[in-house]
Structure 1
């Protein structure tokens, strides 16, 4: 098993090194080779989304809405998209909030959400933001800049 894991790991790194889009996606904190390749294969064409915000809804990472008369409630995330991509984004958000040592505006925002709403919701919210940011970077051809803001410049 370890030998097969090592072979697959080397193949994944070889694929990521050759792909310019994956290299740009990996400039985002918390996004590694697996997240970059998974996002690239799941979305496959960034032009099919008019706005980057639509990617979060496509992957099922936006809250479910219930509205009837005067009642208007937000529920848990809708989970309508690709479950594998959602899991990878959750792991990327977890890595950003718990493992990343370097400060970023995205991490600061996620920690503020965690303080208000709890760590699990913050991880999902950061995962959704990562999906939006990854789409924007892919579509515009930019890289993540650490010092300025959580958006591509």
Structure 2
């Protein structure tokens, strides 16, 4: 038992060191600092996004970035019948998971946001299931991320940003 405890303490210490490195990296990067203001985006997500998307000009618009992350509905359309299914799950699974889990956290805090963003969140939370609302918010955050990375501006929850 003592060996397992020592191993657990060692893993915990390594995790703390890794978190300190991520925090330092995030604080030293200007793009990370800008996107940290988005509800549901933390230091781990910010550094992962900046590492995976060094140039936002790769994407035509925010919708393309959301599609690249697999945060858009799959289509099974034929003729004049359009059928939308669950998310496509294409792209980077790790980034998609970080964005969706961050969105879940932001949904629990939406009552504290008294701006356009908070109003949108509350409306989605009322009309959709928790999972669908989390994916919708992750999609919105991906589009906002693209806008912030492309333009170099700061997040403003009072305006409809990054929906292109």
Indicate whether the TM-score tops 0.5.
Answer: yes
Q: Which runs of 5+ in 1 are unaligned?
A: none
Bigger radius of gyration among the two: 2
Q: Distance in 2 between matches of 1:73 and 1:133?
A: 27
1:26 equivalent to 2:45? Answer no
SS of equivalent to 1:61: coil
Q: CA RMSD in A?
A: 1.5
Q: Which runs of 5+ in 2 are unaligned?
A: 1-10
The structure whose residues are more often strand, as a share, is 1
Q: How does 1:1-153 map to 2 (within 5 A)?
A: 1-100=11-110, 101-146=112-157, 148-151=158-161
Residues 100-132 of structure 1, C-alpha deviation per residue, up to 9 Å, x if partnerless? Answer: 533342232233223222111010010011011
Q: Distance in 2 between matches of 1:79 and 1:96?
A: 21
Q: Distance in 2 between matches of 1:81 and 1:110?
A: 25
SS of equivalent to 2:125: helix
Shift of 1:63: 0.4
Residues paired across the two proteins, number: 151
SS of equivalent to 2:76: strand
